[in-house]
Chains A and B, each alone.
Chain A
Amino acid sequence: MNTPEGLFYTKDHEWARVEGKKAYIGITDHAQSALGDITFIDPPKKGQQLKQGGFCATVESVKAASDVYSPFSGVVLDVNRELSGHPELVNRSPYDKGYIFEMELSDEKEKAGLMDAAGYAKYIEGLAE
């Protein structure tokens, strides 16, 4: 499983790449692998207010639908428009071209509640048992 450094991770398998007050959000390699071929993403709306841990999007594969929860509180700045025509980007490039949306953080202190790469890698190892 690919778990890049420098990102924040959640127990529900979301990642966040923080750049100043902004963050890109997506689902991890572990999550995309478990879902299988992704067929559709239902993203949040631009301008939508989010709470940390609150439901914000759905990712669907042929046989499953998974809810995505926001790693941070804040507001949605933009969504990844490529995904509507190319949902497979989430499978092929979950941390880069397959990001789901971009948001502005309202409380940077929330970072403390999230895992780093090492922590997340250990966490998913524990799940496998």
Chain B
Amino acid sequence: MSYIPHTQEEIGQMLKAIGAADIGALFKDIPPALRPKSFNIPEGRSEFEVTRYLKRLSSKNATGLINFVGAGFYDHFIPAAVDAIAGRSEFYTAYTPYQPECSQGWLQAIYEYQSIICELTGLDVSNASLYDGGTALYEAAMMAVRSTGRNKIIMDSGVNLIYRTMLYTYTSNLSVEFVEIPVVHGQSSRDELLKHLDDKTAAVIFQNPNFFGAVDDYSDVVSKVHKSGALAVASVYPVSLGLLRSPGEMGFDIATGEGQSLGIPLSFGGPYLGFMAVKKELVRQMPGRIVGATVDSEGKRGFVLTLQTREQHIRREKATSNICSNEALCALRAAVFTALLGRQGLKELAGHNYDKAEFAKDALSAVPGVEVKRSSPTFNEFTVKLPRPADEVVYRLIDKGFACGFPLGRFYKNMDNYLLVAVTEKRTKEEINLLADSLEAVL
């Protein structure tokens, strides 16, 4: 099956119109020496056979585990309407809305998405999406380097190690210097930051809640960062913004993050959704597509891709970024999800996450040998110290039907006995109590 509608007769007519003897003649510009040395691809199979094979593969993945693993990517409930709308092929089989008159649906949807991200983060302008939270953070760092003309980036170690590693990978050929400041008791340290903040600093990057789940109010830090002439960048968790102080309220210049928690399934790593919002002074430095409102020749409101001179198809080697395709369909999911929840729903969602995590903290504290870290407030994720290596405990609990958390020793030195536990609104009271019981049995 190759979805080709042509009959032999039609092919014959077309060849005649072209003046070619056969299809092979159309490829005569490829010299014989350049024909494939091999092309051992098995013959095509039917839709039924391929579906059956892949169904079998999908059943080799464990989806029955009760999931307490977060670490930046969360198991949230996705309302059916999100799938229904994102599944409309008028949306998903369209391309980038370069021709606005026949793409007003997409353009308005993205304008609304941009507005939603601005409301969530408390900042002025958002773009139409980036690939994921990690590349978004990298783009933010580069924006700071470009706009300040400086090349030192200070990163708090509470920022997800995956993202820090990505930043190092992307900048390895550039003259950007990174300084990592250690967390103290799982939290950002003002003292550590001030040791390094100077007039060479382009940006300081924090994550809220940080990787350990700790929540902070960075307003005081942000004003110090601004005094030194650097930009303040926050990597944030959108569901938490139903409750937590927004980066805009704290004075951050750029907020980025992973939008997966807004209606995008865990998907084994992708596609995800990088979002970015900035203060209005930075808009011309922002990468990615941006949709703007305008009017048509009859004065009617319409939407277009705008400020395109930042982008690769115009600026080429002087572009703010090379990004072309983004995560539009995921941005649509996020917009629909947020619209369905609305003002109250998002607060309710954040509240459930917070309450259930607090309940879990109490339930786990009651397990002998388990110490729940309470040196700072948390949202829906927290750190516990176990009497044994967390790796092993996780392994034992898989058999009992749990993905009980993320062993922090994988990302941080000297933390082998620490476990990161995430509790979303999907986790029931029974599941949480069962986790505590199973943990007790295993320890």
A and B: direct contact (Cβ < 8 Å)?
A: yes
- Rounded to whole angstroms, the CA-CA distance of A63 and B318 in the bound complex is 14
- Residues of A with C-beta under 8 A to B429: none
Q: Let me know if A65 and B284 touch, CB within 8 A.
A: no
Is B322 an interface residue, CB under 8 A from the partner?
Answer: no
Interface-located stretch among B33-41, B124-132, B181-189, B308-316: B308-316
- Residues of B with C-beta under 8 A to A64: 309, 314
Q: Let me know if B284 and A40 touch, CB within 8 A.
A: yes
- Residues of A with C-beta under 8 A to B314: 63-65
- Rounded to whole angstroms, the CA-CA distance of A43 and B160 in the bound complex is 39
CB under 8 Å from chain B, chain A span 33-81: 39-40, 42, 60-65
- Rounded to whole angstroms, the CA-CA distance of A39 and B283 in the bound complex is 14
- Residues of A with C-beta under 8 A to B318: 65
Q: A35 to nearest B CB, angstroms?
A: 11
Interface size counted on chain B using CB atoms at 8 A: 6
Q: A119 to nearest B CB, angstroms?
A: 30
- Residues of B with C-beta under 8 A to A63: 308-309, 314
- Rounded to whole angstroms, the CA-CA distance of A56 and B427 in the bound complex is 59
- Residues of A with C-beta under 8 A to B315: 65
DSSP class of B's interface residues: helix, strand, loop or mixed?
Answer: helix
CB under 8 Å from chain A, chain B span 266-321: 284, 308-309, 314-315, 318
Interface size counted on chain A using CB atoms at 8 A: 9
- Rounded to whole angstroms, the CA-CA distance of A42 and B285 in the bound complex is 12
- Residues of A with C-beta under 8 A to B308: 62-63
- Residues of B with C-beta under 8 A to A62: 308-309
- Residues of B with C-beta under 8 A to A65: 309, 314-315, 318
A67: nearest chain-B partner, CB-CB: B318
A65: nearest chain-B partner, CB-CB: B309
- Residues of A with C-beta under 8 A to B284: 40, 42
- Rounded to whole angstroms, the CA-CA distance of A63 and B308 in the bound complex is 7
- Rounded to whole angstroms, the CA-CA distance of A39 and B314 in the bound complex is 14
- Rounded to whole angstroms, the CA-CA distance of A41 and B399 in the bound complex is 64
- Residues of B with C-beta under 8 A to A39: 309
- Residues of B with C-beta under 8 A to A42: 284
Q: A78 to nearest B CB, angstroms?
A: 21
A59: nearest chain-B partner, CB-CB: B309
Q: Which of B308, B309, B314 has the most chain A CB within a 10 Å cutoff?
A: B309
- Rounded to whole angstroms, the CA-CA distance of A64 and B308 in the bound complex is 8
Q: A85 to nearest B CB, angstroms?
A: 15
- Rounded to whole angstroms, the CA-CA distance of A65 and B284 in the bound complex is 13
B313: nearest chain-A partner, CB-CB: A63
- Residues of A with C-beta under 8 A to B309: 39-40, 60-65
Q: B125 to nearest A CB, angstroms?
A: 15
- Rounded to whole angstroms, the CA-CA distance of A42 and B314 in the bound complex is 16
- Rounded to whole angstroms, the CA-CA distance of A108 and B308 in the bound complex is 39
Q: A68 to nearest B CB, angstroms?
A: 13
Q: B287 to nearest A CB, angstroms?
A: 15
CB under 8 Å from chain A, chain B span 237-287: 284
CB under 8 Å from chain A, chain B span 69-90: none
- Residues of B with C-beta under 8 A to A60: 309
- Rounded to whole angstroms, the CA-CA distance of A40 and B314 in the bound complex is 15
CB under 8 Å from chain B, chain A span 1-48: 39-40, 42
A62: nearest chain-B partner, CB-CB: B308
Q: B137 to nearest A CB, angstroms?
A: 26
- Rounded to whole angstroms, the CA-CA distance of A63 and B98 in the bound complex is 12
- Residues of B with C-beta under 8 A to A61: 309
Q: A25 to nearest B CB, angstroms?
A: 21
Q: A90 to nearest B CB, angstroms?
A: 15
- Rounded to whole angstroms, the CA-CA distance of A83 and B314 in the bound complex is 22
Q: Which of A40, A61, A62 has the most chain B CB within a 10 Å cutoff?
A: A62
- Rounded to whole angstroms, the CA-CA distance of A42 and B308 in the bound complex is 15
What are 8 A-B contacts with C-beta separation under 8 Å?
A40-B309, A60-B309, A61-B309, A62-B308, A62-B309, A65-B309, A65-B315, A65-B318
New contact pairs (14) apart from A63-B309, A63-B314, A65-B318, CB-CB < 8 Å: A39-B309, A40-B284, A40-B309, A42-B284, A60-B309, A61-B309, A62-B308, A62-B309, A63-B308, A64-B309, A64-B314, A65-B309, A65-B314, A65-B315
